[in-house]
């Protein structure tokens, strides 16, 4: 293992036979600093590993996890004890990962305290109240590295995990501390830069061995984990869900292109008020990190307004915030959705004054579109299935059933669906779908059949993201860099 590099990625390999195990190890070393052999995945007896062990790449972690600790086999305590006691003493390139319940009992087989042994504890239900006591118990074993992995049911569950890393750093102990699940992604990406001995990354999205495990290629190429340090600017996307978003691809590409030491993460947040109080606001945050900006998406664009110290007038008028800037001890709120929506229209069509615009939908996206288009003096009509909801938007509204959009200069789809057919769209000028994934939606296909000019949602996503990036960094990234990163991610 390269001890000069404190950022280590361990790729777990979980295969049913030894040949597949060997092949997976060969692929893993492209991205891994160390490879973990999950021996509990094997159909063969772990003892058979000896015949291929010498042919496997180094360094390695040997793990034989019982099902109650997240393993793939029902293993008795006696079987696990026997396995570890018959192993040779770990050498410079082979580590053992032993559960906390066994570490004391097999200690005669363990080498001295500075050995290559990891003692681990897993909790797949949540964060136990006695986390510090678990740390203390593991610290009393002969193992060199402590590993504690707990389930994050809310993003604030990352706080005690980061505190464990801080404690271990103060006490000069080596630790692997992870919050599992999508809400715990931050601990996997930021943990090593804060002192965690390593982080785990799967070979691909389909081979993760624990909830929320990010694949190793993304850790290295998307999140640029090797460059993260104490000075790294942290930004991210706040919503539920967020793991599908291409925003990390957009902003991380911009950080790299502009030479900014920054990383953009997905933050899966259920309780936005609790997240802002305990992790975001500089006056109340329980976590010390260089958090500089946030994108806000559904369902939090309105609720987040109660968490801020100042909101720009335009965002107040729209009743929604999609961008937060951390400025000293204050949180500032903006809305870049409206400007992002208008920019592609102005680029392709020109002035919007007196243009007849049909907006399909009556939700938050429709509200932002109405505000932006009316500001440009366009004539707006809303088409919606729920006519009563549409009337609340205070613009002319029409039921979506059995309508024609002939004669409209622009038809904007502000729903996640494909709400109109080619026959309904025939006679319209431009059709603008705010959905960006896939790049060519069914709605766009219907529009092309109808002979309309088309505009996809990816241009809007990039336009609003570019404004966000400038608010956070003061730099104006190239739109092409952001667009290409998003397009590549979707493809």
Domain-wise residue ranges, the chain:
9-228, 236-335+463-490, 346-455
Residues 6+ apart with CB under 8 A from 358: 381, 382, 383, 405, 408, 410, 411, 412, 428
Residue 321, pLDDT score: 95
H helix intervals, 223-334: 247-257, 272-275, 313-318
Residue 113, pLDDT score: 45
Residue 312, pLDDT score: 97
Instruction: Provide the strand spans (E) within 291-329.
Output: 291-296, 310-311, 323-327
**Fold match, 9-228 / 236-335+463-490:** no
Checking if the pLDDT of 151 tops 60, the result is: yes
Closest by CA to 268, choosing from 128, 150, 158, is: 158
Distance CA 296, CA 294 (A): 6
Checking if the pLDDT of 291 tops 70, the result is: yes
Distance CA 82, CA 444 (A): 63
Q: Which residue has the tokens 């290629």?
A: 217
Q: Reading across the β-sheet that carries 174-180, which strands appear in turn?
A: 174-180, 145-151, 117-123, 94-99, 60-63, 34-38, 9-13, 199-200
The string of pLDDT tens digits covering residues 41-62 is 988 666 667 767 777 777 899 9
Predicted confidence band of residue 2 (pLDDT cuts 50, 70, 90) = very low
Q: How far is CA 362 from CA 72, 341, 378, 393, 418, in A?
A: 48, 16, 18, 7, 15
Distance CA 421, CA 449 (A): 9
How many other C-beta atoms lie within 10 A of the C-beta of residue 206? Answer: 7
Task: Respond yes or no: is residue 301 known to be catalytic.
Answer: yes
Predicted confidence band of residue 457 (pLDDT cuts 50, 70, 90) = very high
Predicted confidence band of residue 94 (pLDDT cuts 50, 70, 90) = confident
Of all helices (H) and strands (E), which one includes residue 413?
strand 410-413
Residue 1, pLDDT score: 39
Q: Which CATH class name applies to 9-228?
A: alpha beta
Residue 71, pLDDT score: 80
Q: Which residue has the tokens 């309105």?
A: 302
Bridge partners, residue 278, by sequence: none
Average pLDDT, the chain: 92
Bridge partners, residue 291, by sequence: 234
Bridge partners, residue 431, by sequence: 411, 454
Residue 48, pLDDT score: 65
Bridge partners, residue 174, by sequence: 145
Q: What's the first-to-final CA gap in the chain, in angstroms?
A: 35
Q: Give the pair of three-digit tokens for residue 62.
A: 């040997």
Checking if the pLDDT of 111 tops 70, the result is: no
Checking if the pLDDT of 225 tops 70, the result is: yes
The string of pLDDT tens digits covering residues 228-269 is 999 999 999 999 999 999 999 999 999 999 999 999 999 999
Of all helices (H) and strands (E), which one includes residue 180?
strand 174-180
Distance CA 2, CA 92 (A): 12
Q: Which residue has the tokens 């990190």?
A: 289
For residues 404-425, give the mean pLDDT: 95
The string of pLDDT tens digits covering residues 355-369 is 999 999 988 889 889
Distance CA 390, CA 383 (A): 8
Above pLDDT 90, what percent of the chain?
Answer: 75
Distance CA 485, CA 338 (A): 22
Bridge partners, residue 384, by sequence: 399
Please pick, among 218, 301, 466, 476, the residue that the annotation labels catalytic: 301
Q: Give the pair of three-digit tokens for residue 77.
A: 């305590």
Q: Give the pair of three-digit tokens for residue 465.
A: 């993201």
Of the listed ranges 42-46, 80-84, 318-322, the least confidently predicted one is 42-46
For residues 141-153, give the mean pLDDT: 94
Q: Calculate the CA dihedral of residues 237, 162, 90, 44 and round it to 10 degrees.
A: -50
Q: Give the pair of three-digit tokens for residue 373.
A: 């288009």
Q: How far is CA 415 from the centre of its chain?
A: 24
Answer CATH for 346-455 from 3.40.50.10090, 1.20.1280.260, 3.40.50.720, 3.40.1080.10: 3.40.50.720
Q: Give the pair of three-digit tokens for residue 407.
A: 């004669």
For residues 334-344, give the mean pLDDT: 96
Predicted confidence band of residue 207 (pLDDT cuts 50, 70, 90) = confident
Distance CA 370, CA 379 (A): 9
Above pLDDT 70, what percent of the chain?
Answer: 95
Distance CA 406, CA 395 (A): 19
For residues 5-23, give the mean pLDDT: 88
Instruction: Provide the strand spans (E) within 224-285.
Output: 233-239, 262-268
Collapse the DSSP code of 87 into the 3-class scheme (helix H, G, I; strand E, B; otherwise coil) and give the result.
coil
Of the listed ranges 230-234, 299-303, 395-399, the least confidently predicted one is 395-399
How many other C-beta atoms lie within 10 A of the C-beta of residue 72? Answer: 16
Per-residue 3-state assignment (H helix, E strand, C coil) for 370-401: HHHHHHCCCEEEEEECCHHHHHCCCCCEEECC
Pairing of strands 117-123, 94-99: parallel
N residues, the chain = 491
Please give the CATH topology (third level) of the domain spanning 236-335+463-490.
Rossmann fold (3.40.50)
How many other C-beta atoms lie within 10 A of the C-beta of residue 91? Answer: 12
Collapse the DSSP code of 423 into the 3-class scheme (helix H, G, I; strand E, B; otherwise coil) and give the result.
helix
Checking if the pLDDT of 133 tops 80, the result is: yes
């Amino acid at each position: 293992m390269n001890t000069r590099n404190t950022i280590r990625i361990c790729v777990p390999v979980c295969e049913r036979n030894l040949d597949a195990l060997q092949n997976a190890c060969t692929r893993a070393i492209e991205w891994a600093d160390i490879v973990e052999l999950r021996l509990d995945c094997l159909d063969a007896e772990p003892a058979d590993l000896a015949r291929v062990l010498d042919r496997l790449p180094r360094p390695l972690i040997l793990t034989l996890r019982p099902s109650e600790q997240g393993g793939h086999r029902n293993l008795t305590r006696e079987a696990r004890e026997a396995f570890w006691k018959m192993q040779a003493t770990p050498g410079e390139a082979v580590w053992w990962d032993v559960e906390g319940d066994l570490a004391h009992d097999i200690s005669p087989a363990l080498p001295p305290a500075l050995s290559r042994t990891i003692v681990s504890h897993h909790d797949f239900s949540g964060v136990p109240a006695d986390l510090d006591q678990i740390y203390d118990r593991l610290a009393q074993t002969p193992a060199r590295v402590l590993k504690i992995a707990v389930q994050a049911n809310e993003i604030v569950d990352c706080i005690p995990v980061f505190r464990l890393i801080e404690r271990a750093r103060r006490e000069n102990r080596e630790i692997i501390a992870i919050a599992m699940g999508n809400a715990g992604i931050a601990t996997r990406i930021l943990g090593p830069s804060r002192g965690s001995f390593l982080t785990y990354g799967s070979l691909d999205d389909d081979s993760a061995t624990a909830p929320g495990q990010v694949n190793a290629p993304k850790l290295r190429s998307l999140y640029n984990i090797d460059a993260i340090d104490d000075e790294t600017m942290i930004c991210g996307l706040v919503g539920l869900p967020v793991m599908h978003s291409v925003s990390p691809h957009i902003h991380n590409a911009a950080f790299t292109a502009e030479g900014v030491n920054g990383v953009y993460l997905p933050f899966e947040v259920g309780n936005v008020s609790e997240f802002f109080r305990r992790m975001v606001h500089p006056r109340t945050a329980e976590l010390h990190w260089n958090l500089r900006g946030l994108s806000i998406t559904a369902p939090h664009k309105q609720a987040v307004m109660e968490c801020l110290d100042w909101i720009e007038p335009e965002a107040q008028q729209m009743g929604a915030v999609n961008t937060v800037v951390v400025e000293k001890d204050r949180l500032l709120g903006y809305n870049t959705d409206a400007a992002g929506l208008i920019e592609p229209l102005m680029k392709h069509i020109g002035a919007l004054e007196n243009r007849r615009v049909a907006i399909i939908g009556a939700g938050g996206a429709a509200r932002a579109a109405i505000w932006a288009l009316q500001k440009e003096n366009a004539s707006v009509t809303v088409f919606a299935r729920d006519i009563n909801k549409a009337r609340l938007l205070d613009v002319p509204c029409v039921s979506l059933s059995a309508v024609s959009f002939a004669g409209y200069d622009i038809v904007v789809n502000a729903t996640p669906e494909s709400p109109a057919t080619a026959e309904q769209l025939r006679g319209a000028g431009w059709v603008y779908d705010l959905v960006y994934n896939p790049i060519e939606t069914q709605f766009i296909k219907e529009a092309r059949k109808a002979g309309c000019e088309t505009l996809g949602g990816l241009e809007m996503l990039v336009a609003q993201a570019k404004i966000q990036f400038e608010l956070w960094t003061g730099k104006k990234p190239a739109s092409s860099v952001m667009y290409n990163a998003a397009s590549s991610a979707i493809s």
